[in-house]
Amino acid sequence: MTDMPTVVWTEIPVTDLDAATAFYSDVFGWKMLHNEDGPNPIVNFTSDMSGVSGHLYPGKPASGNGPTIHLALPDKIETGAVRAEKAGATLIGPVIAIPPGRFQYATDPDGNSIGLFEPTAA
């Protein structure tokens, strides 16, 4: 057994890297870092590469019910949901309360399944 996080990195395929960067920056307030060091351009969610994070990359999003990535919002879920819709997301279903917080399912403009997550205040 390990105390490592269950998710160590996330990759989200997108059809338009610049548009997706704008979407995720607008909705989640991330200062994203464009990187062309590898074989393909990517945009990291953060410049801090010491922990759990992820990136966007040029690719084909899954169709139907692909995996869902839950991403923490910087504020209340209702506020984040408004930003998400304005940025091109489709909200799916109601806000759901669970012990660690509240979330709402959505799809990003490429159709990727995401969860807008508001952690419970400590």
pLDDT at 107 over 50: yes
Pairing of strands 90-98, 68-72: unpaired
Whether 3 is covered by a domain: the verdict is no
Compute the average pLDDT of residues 87-93. 96
Domain assignment of residue 28, yes or no? yes
Instruction: Report residue 93 as tokens.
Output: 């279903």
Calculate mean pLDDT across residues 102-121. Answer: 92
Is the model's pLDDT at 60 over the cut of 90? Answer: no
Alpha carbons 44 and 35: distance in angstroms, whole number: 7
For residue 15, tell me if it sits in a domain: yes
Give how many domains the chain has, as a whole number: 1
Helix (H, G, I), strand (E, B) or coil at 78: helix
Domain membership of residue 1 (yes or no) is: no
Structural contact between residues 94 and 83, judged by C-beta atoms closer than 8 angstroms? no
Give residue 62's pLDDT band: very low, low, confident or very high (50, 70, 90). Answer: confident
| Distances from the Cα of 2 to the Cα of 6, 51, 60, angstroms | 9, 16, 33
Report the CATH number at residue 21: 3.10.180.10
Strands 53-58 and 90-98: unpaired
* Structural domain boundaries enclosing 55: 9-59+66-119
CB neighbours (10 Å) of residue 50? Answer: 6
Average pLDDT over residues 85-97: 95
Specify if 17 maps to a domain.
yes
| Whole-number percent of the chain with pLDDT over 90 | 59
pLDDT for the residue numbered 1: 47
Report helix angle 17-28 to 77-86, nearest 10. 160
Q: Identify whether 50 is part of a domain.
A: yes
Residue 42 falls within a domain, yes or no? yes
Q: State the pLDDT at residue 65.
A: 65
- Residue in the block written with tokens 């960067």: 21
Q: What is the mean pLDDT of residues 92-112?
A: 92
DSSP character for 86? Answer: H
